Structures are given as structure tokens and as C-alpha cells.
Amino acid sequence: MLTGDERYLDLRTFKDKVKKAIWEKQNHKCAICGKEFDFELMEGDHIKPWREGGRTYISNCQMLCRTCNRSKGSK
């Protein structure tokens, strides 16, 4: 998808409204390590990975701290 058309990037990015709702639902805690974080220190993550057909729906979103999200990579 190297078209240069940035609107396609929205398919993989959760909106802030969705991320905030999931962050609240998870009681401000990372879904992996369980530690509490401010919203700005967390990232929206696909539960079922994008590469495996996971879609950018609220039901497929979890909030992870930056460390957990970046350390899990493409496992």
C-alpha cells in the first residue's frame, strides 16, 4: 500500500475515542503486564493481529503500555 494516500493508514489505527473507551474499560491497566498507566503512555493494539485478518474494530482493541506493545513485535 505504498500509494502515498494517507487515508489508507486509518484502517490500522484506532481512533482516540476508541482507545480511551478501552483504556477506561481496562481500568487504566496494560492488558499484558497489568500495570496502571496514564492514557498518553499507552497504545491501541489489535487483539487479533492485522496481518492475520484482525480488523480495527473496538471489539478487537486492547490497550498496552508502550513497553509491552513494542516488545511483543510480530510474534
Is 80 exceeded by the pLDDT of residue 10? no
The verdict on residue 1 lying in a domain is no
The verdict on residue 54 lying in a domain is yes
How far is 14 from 1, CA to CA, in rounded Å?
18
The verdict on residue 36 lying in a domain is yes
pLDDT the model gives residue 11: 72
* pLDDT one-digit tens code per residue, 50-68: 889 899 999 999 999 999 9
Cell numbers for 18, please give them: 476508541
Q: Check: CB of residue 9 under 8 Å from CB of residue 50.
A: no
The verdict on residue 66 lying in a domain is yes
CATH number for the domain including 12?
1.10.30.50
Residue 40 lies in domain: 6-72
